[in-house]
Amino acid sequence: NAGVTQTPKFRVLKTGQSMTLLCAQDMNHEYMYWYRQDPGMGLRLIHYSVGEGTTAKGEVPDGYNVSRLKKQNFLLGLESAAPSQTSVYFCASSYWTGDQPQHFGDGTRLSIL
């Protein structure tokens, strides 16, 4: 079972470049999330979606945009990358019922020079 798949796994960008991170899940989950994790810190929520066509801001949304055109995919975009966005990005998904756990992908390691 694939679960939550993130692409790419690694990427190096120059300041000012743009890119899109892709998250795909095959569990028919309604909710999807994007987190970032910086060294020595816990995960912080960037944006999330409660269904196809919907998005909402999380704890640290500035500098990022997201789209959920299909239920199984959740895209995270960086329009103009900054060194402060160097991080490991994790995508997660869950069912809509509130006591269900989130399932995470293996992350995308992004370095911005």
Partner 1 sequence: DAKTTQPPSMDCAEGRAANLPCNHSTISGNEYVYWYRQIHSQGPQYIIHGLKNNETNEMASLIITEDRKSSTLILPHATLRDTAVYYCIVRPGGNTGNQFYFGTGTSLTVIP
Residues that bind partner 1 (CB under 8 A): 4, 31, 33, 35, 37, 40-43, 45, 48, 50, 56, 58-59, 88, 90, 92, 96-99, 101-107
Q: How far is the CB of 70 from partner 1 (least distance, A)?
A: 18
Whether 49 contacts 66, CB under 8 Å: yes
Q: How far is the CB of 16 from partner 1 (least distance, A)?
A: 27
At residue 76, what is the residue type? L
Nearer to partner 1, 77 or 96 (CB): 96
Nearer to partner 1, 17 or 37 (CB): 37
**What is the 8-class DSSP label of residue 26?**
S
Dihedral sign for Cα atoms in the order 85, 105, 29, 72: positive
Q: Report residue 69 as tokens.
A: 């055109």
